């Protein structure tokens, strides 16, 4: 990884840390801006650097910096109710980045990829949510209850964040490519 890649990776890790602090607590999973910046990391940086930026953010949190939602930190967050989402962010950034690298990044192509990335976040987040309640908190959690607590309240705003990320991401990737700051496919 060259210096430019390290700087961009660090920048998006910092953006994720800041977006985590924009938080509205509505239950075990708060509303944040993280989804938008995870999608943008993949879109702008590509698969490897997008993934790396999320991993850097996770490692900062695991090592004790309060970069997770609501100022949380520590490895325990990864096995808590939001842990599955964090792992989903890594997969999503890689997936969206792969599409952005290998296909001309147009709204028509990137929007379905971002929606699929959002689906990956939700699938992994839901699984982690249910597992944390079952094995960490020792409370039974049905799929219906988990959906009503960990997915459905977030869906409308996350769809808006996805549309915004697609619009911003396509324009930003094109501008950075023209400026020679990132490589075209």
Which residues, at least 6 apart from 147, have a Cβ–Cβ distance to it below 8 Å?
A: 126
* Whether residue 29 has pLDDT greater than 90: no
Contact criterion met (CB below 8 Å) for 62 and 75: yes
* CA distance linking residue 90 with residue 181, whole number of Å: 23
Task: Kindly report, residue by residue over 56-73, the tens digit of the pLDDT.
Answer: 999 999 999 999 998 999
* CA distance linking residue 167 with residue 27, whole number of Å: 30
pLDDT confidence tier of residue 23, bands split at 50, 70 and 90 = confident
* CA distance linking residue 44 with residue 21, whole number of Å: 22
How is the chain split into domains, by residue range? 3-178
Contact criterion met (CB below 8 Å) for 42 and 93: yes
Round to the nearest angstrom and report the end-to-end CA distance of the chain: 17
**pLDDT for 87:** 97
**pLDDT for 154:** 93
* CA distance linking residue 136 with residue 79, whole number of Å: 7
pLDDT confidence tier of residue 185, bands split at 50, 70 and 90 = low
Mean pLDDT value across residues 149-168: 95
As its CATH architecture, domain 3-178 has Orthogonal Bundle (1.10)
Helix (H) or strand (E) holding 172: helix 155-178
* CA distance linking residue 73 with residue 63, whole number of Å: 8
Q: How far is CA 152 from the centre of its chain?
A: 17
Query: Helix, strand or coil for residue 31?
Result: strand
Instruction: For helices 83-102 and 107-131, give the axis angle rounded to 10 degrees.
Output: 160
**pLDDT for 162:** 97
């Amino acid at each position: 990884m060259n210096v430019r890649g390290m700087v961009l990776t660090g920048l998006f890790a910092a953006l994720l840390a800041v977006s985590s602090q924009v938080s509205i607590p509505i239950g075990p999973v708060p509303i944040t801006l993280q989804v938008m910046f995870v999608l943008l990391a993949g879109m702008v940086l590509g698969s490897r650097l997008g993934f790396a930026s999320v991993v850097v953010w996770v490692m900062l949190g695991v090592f004790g910096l309060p970069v997770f939602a609501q100022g949380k930190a520590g490895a325990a967050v990864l096995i808590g109710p939001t842990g599955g989402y964090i792992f989903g962010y890594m997969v999503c950034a890689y997936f969206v980045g792969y599409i952005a690298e290998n296909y001309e990044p147009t709204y028509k192509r990137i929007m379905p990829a971002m929606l699929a990335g959002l689906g990956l976040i939700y699938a992994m987040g839901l699984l982690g949510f249910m597992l944390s309640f079952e094995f960490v908190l020792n409370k039974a959690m049905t799929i219906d209850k988990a959906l009503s607590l960990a997915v459905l309240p977030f869906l409308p705003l996350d769809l808006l964040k996805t549309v915004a990320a697609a619009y911003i991401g396509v324009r930003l990737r094109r501008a950075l490519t023209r400026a020679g700051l990132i490589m075209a496919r």
